[in-house]
Every structure is written in C-alpha cells, then in structure tokens.
Amino acid sequence: MSDHSTIEWTDATWNPVTGCSLESPGCKLCYAMKLAGTRLKNHPSRAGLTTMTSAGPVWTGEIRVNEGWMEQPLQWTRPRMIFVCAHGDLFHEEVPDAVIDRVFAVMALARRHTFQVLTKRARRMRQYFAHPVREALIGKQIAQLEFAYSGNPMSVWTGLPLYNVWLGVSAEDQRRADERISELLDVRAAVRYLSLEPLLGPIQLNAQLLTRVETGSQAGQRFIDWVIVGGESGQGARPMHPDWARSLRDQCHAAGTAFFFKQWGEWMPRGPESWGYPLIDGVPRVRLTDTGEDGSDLGSGGDHHVWMQRPGKKATGRLLDGRTWDEMPNAAGGVAPC
C-alpha cells in the first residue's frame, strides 16, 4: 500500500490482495515477486508468498487478502489515480469472488478517486462480470461498508460499470494480446486499456480495435481507450525493438487511442543521438531483429535490425524518437492532450 507511486501513469497503489503465480513470459522478471522474496519477505503482506530458487524468489501461488488495507481508499481524502493490486493480480484464480466484490464495493464508495485495475487473467475478469447477480453481490458489500462507516446504509449503488474504474489487460506479445484483448472487449468499463509491458515482440492491434468499431452498436465508439508501452527492467531484461513501440504508437493514433510510452527499461537504441539515443561506451550491446519474441533471435538476421545497448533503466529514460508520449484517456474515452 502506498500513497505515492513511482509508476509513471498513476499516483498511488492499493494492495488489498498480494501474491500471484507466473502466468506467461511477461512474468519472468516480475518486480512484485522479487520484492516479496527479498526486501519484503518478512512483511505480513508477503511472508510465505514466495520460495527461494536458484533463479531467485518465485511465487508459491498463495495469495493474501490484506484486511488492514482493504478500505484504505475510503480514508484518502484527496482525489487521486490509484493502481489496484500492483503486487499481485486481482483476478488470480485463488482470489475469491467475494473478495473482488469487496474491492469493487470500496471503489464504488470512493468515487473521488479513479481506479486502474490491470490483469493478465482476462478470462477470469470476464467471467467475474458475467455472473448473473454480480451487481447485487457488490451492492450487498456496499451496504455492509456503509453500515460500518455511518450506521446508515444509503442507496448510492447504481450498478456497473463504475465510471471511476478503468479496466485493463496486460500483454507482452501478439498471442497474449489476441487472447486477452478479446476478453477485455466483452467487459463494460468506463475506460478500457492495455499495458503492453514488457513488450517482447511486435503486436498488431488494428484488427481488434477496428472490428469492434465496425460491428459495435454505437457507431464510432472507441473500444480501447488507452495503450501503455514499455520495455523490460531488471537483471536479464529482454530488449524492446523500437519499431514495436513505434508501430503501436502509430496504430493508436490511427484509431484515436491515447498512447503512453512508459519506459525503455534496461535497453535502449544505440543512436541516433539526435533522437535522444546517445552512444554509450562500456555497456553491453546486441543486434536485435524486428521479429524476436523473447530475445532468442538476438544476433541473428532479420528484416530490420537495430543495435541496442544496455546502460540500465536509470539511463535509458522514456523518450521515443526524441519526445515523451504521456497521453491519457479522459472520462469520455477521448484523448487528453499530453
């Protein structure tokens, strides 16, 4: 739980649930897993959630519901953007539906805040919302919370979707994007978004974005409102080809979707300097093709290769071709100027 976050696209983190298990290749260097097995390994919210291996800490698959943090957003008075479950996955298979109901009840009551929910378990998220009495179950939790706080339940519950809750899926490559975006598009949300970090290969979004526009009931409706792109951090990080990020930026702008370039991560292009990519001596370099999915193609041929260098995350920054991209969705699903 943190009233302040260093994550570039949010203000604070809220961790009603911690713990997870590896879901796909993008989880390999999970920062939350590393933290849970090192600096926070004795903290009640993390103790026993990881096991030490020769490759470092690994999630055990156990999750923890942090009762002491469950209602924290209700006590934060200043409105802020809150990333939900930054150290786990709210839709992990071990998180009971009733716990998720409570999280949504808190978000329904803390309407001064904007909540960003992000998951790799897109199918579970869709199934959760598809439950025939989901709104009634969340409404019951809201009434209990209101009673606890004021002794007088009020009827503020107007149902789903909550206008202050953004729902997103995380994907690292085309296969996971295809699987998870289709599930996300079946869920109603004030804002739908994608976190494509760590980006491990090229992703083509146009078909998913535009198909729904053509077949949707509301002409011109935008279905993906926001896309975040970033490279990988941590020891052993895999480089992100600049063309993968450029392509996503261009696809977003063609579809009217906000684009946020979060970071390069450990690796960055080696030149041109005029685009914000200095030549740094004494650091590792690789020749990266534009088709590599997980770094296995490093050093091989390819249609469009680029030399990458690894000066470390603090040095790589977040310029994409000479500028930052900090576009955010607005409440109506439009693009806010950056």
Is 172 an interacting residue with respect to ligand SF4 (CB under 6 A)? no
Q: Which of residues 72-101 bind ligand SF4 (CB under 6 A)?
A: 88-89
Tell me, by CB under 6 A, how many residues bind ligand SF4.
Answer: 11
Q: How far apart are CA 131 and CA 191, in angstroms?
A: 21
DSSP letter at 296 equals T
Judged by CB under 6 A, which of 64, 102, 120, 262 binds ligand SF4?
Answer: 120
DSSP letter at 19 equals B
Nearest to 81 by CA among 159, 10, 158: 10
| Region of residue 286 (phi > 0: left; psi between -120 and 50: alpha; otherwise: beta) | beta
CB of 150 to ligand SF4, least distance (A): 35
Is 184 an interacting residue with respect to ligand SF4 (CB under 6 A)? no
Q: How far apart are CA 24 and CA 172, in angstroms?
A: 9
Is 171 an interacting residue with respect to ligand SF4 (CB under 6 A)? no
Q: How far apart are CA 208 and CA 83, in angstroms?
A: 25
Residue (25 or 153) nearer to ligand SF4, CB = 25
> Which span (19-27, 49-57, 122-130, 205-213) binds ligand SF4, by CB under 6 A?
19-27
Nearest to 108 by CA among 83, 139, 136: 139
Is 176 an interacting residue with respect to ligand SF4 (CB under 6 A)? no
Cross-strand partners of 229:
196, 261
Judged by CB under 6 A, which of 20, 142, 165, 268 binds ligand SF4?
Answer: 20
Residue 123's SS3 state is helix
Residue (201 or 333) nearer to ligand SF4, CB = 201
Is 199 an interacting residue with respect to ligand SF4 (CB under 6 A)? no
> Which span (16-24, 200-208, 277-285, 298-306) binds ligand SF4, by CB under 6 A?
16-24
Is 36 an interacting residue with respect to ligand SF4 (CB under 6 A)? no
Radius of gyration, alpha carbons of the chain: 20
Cross-strand partners of 277:
none
CB of 29 to ligand SF4, least distance (A): 8
**Residues in contact with ligand SF4 by the rule CB under 6 A:** 20, 22-23, 27, 30, 32-33, 59, 88-89, 120
